[in-house]
Amino acid sequence: MSMLVALLAQLLHIGLMLAVAPLAVGLIRKVKARLLGRIGPPILQPWRDLARLARKQPVLAENASWVFSGAPAVTFAATLAAAALVPSFALGMTAAPLADLLVIAGLLGVARCALGLAGMDVGTAFGGIGSSREMMFAVFAEPALLLVIFTLSLLAGSTNLDAVAGALHDGALGLRVSLGLSLIAMLAIAIAENGRIPVDNPATHLELTMVHEAMVLEYSGRHLALIEAAAMLKLLVWLGLIGTIFVPFAIAPAGAPTTAWGLGLLGWAAKMLALLLALAAFETSIAKMRVFRVPEFLGIAVLFALLAVVFLFVSQGFA
């Protein structure tokens, strides 16, 4: 019976992630437009864009290989798998034993790698620039993420996301300087990974400084729909990771009855809403940084993550 409940939670979670991801992006665009004094497109607009793109036939370059046409599916599948592993409203879903933080980092890495290869496949200059920049950022973002994971696993005694969330949920660990430093590092990584404003501008399509959009410039039709959907899902995955790890309240614990899901859903919605509004306000108030300053920004995320590890050794009585 409990297996069925876990499976139900898992399916509900995946459906929720798929349904909400475009709405989250729509909400950010709406709030940003309102903050700038414009009315902005309706929140449902990203869904409409996706539906329209999915109906269109993709246009392929003459020299596009199977890498180019296969990459969108790989990217979307890897991101969806990661999304399935990051809990939203309930712990102890069917996939929970697989939800290792390293696995999630790896899945996101696979998605990025597929897109990076696809960006270079056709041989246009823009795609190549986008891919090389994306990889340059990843070189800094991934070590920072691994250090954060190291800190969390030292604290919780496991790299499993459900175990980490459970340990933090119980509150036995209390407030820790290490957790604060990890949170700073994690926010910086999340901004860079999702190409949000100080690092990359998600709203431009033709600019010399764009990164993600440059990489996927050659895509059209249903391929583009898959890539856009993957990018939206990725944003939700990162917000979910931050919410689950650093704000571990109001999530239904493993084995809780289905009646606890309601509170979990409400809590999750509140967390996501707060994070999305904060992101929109942050993006409106800050200017994009120069591309060659981004490694410095991410290097600092690495340093903060390293500092978190150092402090953890202190508070565990290392001398």
Closest C-alpha to 50, from 81, 65, 83, 72 = 72
Which residue's CB is nearer to another protein, number 118 or number 312? Answer: 312
Which residue's CB is nearer to another protein, number 173 or number 269? Answer: 173
Q: Are 79 and 107 in contact (CB under 8 A)?
A: yes
CB of 132 to another protein, least distance (A): 20
Please say whether the dihedral angle defined by the alpha carbons of residues 267, 269, 273 and 279, taken in this order, is positive or negative.
Answer: positive
Q: How far is CA 163 from the centre of its chain?
A: 20
Q: Which of 106, 109, 143, 180 forms a contact with another protein (CB under 8 A)?
A: 180
Q: Which of 3, 175, 206, 208 forms a contact with another protein (CB under 8 A)?
A: 175
C-alpha–C-alpha distance, residues 57 and 43, integer Å: 25
Binding of another protein by 300 (CB under 8 A): yes
Binding of another protein by 177 (CB under 8 A): yes
CB of 245 to another protein, least distance (A): 17
Q: Are 178 and 305 in contact (CB under 8 A)?
A: no
Q: Which of 11, 44, 278, 314 forms a contact with another protein (CB under 8 A)?
A: 314
CB of 143 to another protein, least distance (A): 13
CB of 294 to another protein, least distance (A): 12
Which residue's CB is nearer to another protein, number 8 or number 303? Answer: 303
Helix (H) or strand (E) holding 210: none
Can you give the C-alpha Rg of the chain in angstroms? 20
Which residue's CB is nearer to another protein, number 43 or number 177? Answer: 177
Binding of another protein by 176 (CB under 8 A): yes
Closest C-alpha to 197, from 264, 123, 286 = 286
Binding of another protein by 135 (CB under 8 A): no
Instruction: Kindly write out the interface string for residues 280-299 of this chain, putting x where it contacts another protein by CB under 8 A and - elsewhere.
Output: ---------------xx--x
Binding of another protein by 39 (CB under 8 A): no
Q: Which residues, listed in sequence order, are joined to residue 189 by a DSSP beta bridge?
A: none
Binding of another protein by 181 (CB under 8 A): yes
CB of 215 to another protein, least distance (A): 25
Please say whether the dihedral angle defined by the alpha carbons of residues 68, 222, 23 and 20, taken in this order, is positive or negative.
Answer: negative
CB of 171 to another protein, least distance (A): 9
Q: Which of 174, 208, 290, 292 forms a contact with another protein (CB under 8 A)?
A: 174
Q: Residue 121: helix, strand or coil by DSSP?
A: helix
Q: Are 91 and 149 in contact (CB under 8 A)?
A: no
In whole angstroms, how far apart are CA 97 and each of 92, 94, 154, 260?
8, 8, 18, 21
C-alpha–C-alpha distance, residues 117 and 166, integer Å: 37
Q: Which residues bind another protein (CB under 8 A)?
A: 172-177, 180-181, 184, 295-296, 299-300, 303-304, 306-307, 310-311, 313-315, 317-319
